Amino acid sequence: MKKTDFKKKIVLGILFVFPLLVYLFFASGKNNFAKLPVLTAGLTEISELDSLTSIKFKGKITILGYWGGSLEEKQAEALNLNEKIYKRFYEFDDFQFVFLVNEEFSEEVDKLKKNLKEGVGTDLSKWNFVSVSKETIQNHFESLETPLNLSQEGSTPFVFIIDKNGSLRGRNDDEDQGTLFGFDARSVAQINKKMIDDVKVILAEYRLALKIYNIEREK
């Protein structure tokens, strides 16, 4: 075997093994070394809800929320998510937050973002708010096919992980709930114990897939 061929195989081996090790490291906790299962496939794209927005699920890992009522009541949930999830992952290019808000309360979005920025000083460019009707919020929420319900105002404290294909990801073997569709943003404990772990798992899944794809192209 030529020396150059041997070196090439060593390099390719490192390129393959390293992302695998990163994946195993990230995929700690309850979902050890596993992908997050798809719980509901093929959600309606954001651009189909609002033709004026460029925001979409495709190609992005999305934390999705439904805040149909007054955003004044969402300050604590927003702070929890910003501090525990957004600040940790927002520098990934394919990561975003998306919240469907009632168009009647759209003027409260800027105030909420101002309060978040003043509180922790984070770049909020990936906090996305899409203003739609209360009926649209309800219909899109129901398409998740979860046992959860919106409030009369069209809100829920639960947020959801949506993959790059627009599918809901979660756990189907959760030790507390059996199937875990979403995460309660009021609960710092649940965010710390489960949500952070699951976001790491899905980020690692896509990065491993990209590494393998690039290696295959180089062969």
Domain count, the chain: 1
**Tens-digit pLDDT string for the chain (219 aa):** 555 555 555 655 555 555 555 544 444 444 444 689 999 999 999 989 988 889 999 999 999 999 999 999 999 999 999 999 999 999 999 999 999 999 999 889 989 988 888 766 678 999 999 999 999 999 999 999 999 999 999 999 999 999 999 999 999 999 999 999 999 999 999 999 999 999 999 999 988 755 654 555 555
- Domain contains 2: no
Largest CA distance in the chain: 71
| CATH number, domain containing residue 98 | 3.40.30.10
Q: CA-CA distance, 64 to 57, in Å (whole number)?
A: 10
Query: Three-state SS for 89?
Result: helix
Q: CA-CA distance, 54 to 50, in Å (whole number)?
A: 9
pTM over 0.85: no
Q: Cβ distance 160 to 65 under 8 Å?
A: yes
- Domain contains 37: yes
User: What is the β-pairing status of strands 168-169 and 171-174?
Assistant: unpaired
- Domain contains 180: yes
Q: CA-CA distance, 115 to 71, in Å (whole number)?
A: 11
- Domain contains 11: no
- Domain contains 1: no
Q: CA-CA distance, 57 to 14, in Å (whole number)?
A: 32
Which amino acid is located at 50 in the chain? D
Full residue range of the structural domain in which residue 89 is found: 31-192
Which amino acid is located at 215 in the chain? I
- Domain contains 159: yes
- Domain contains 5: no
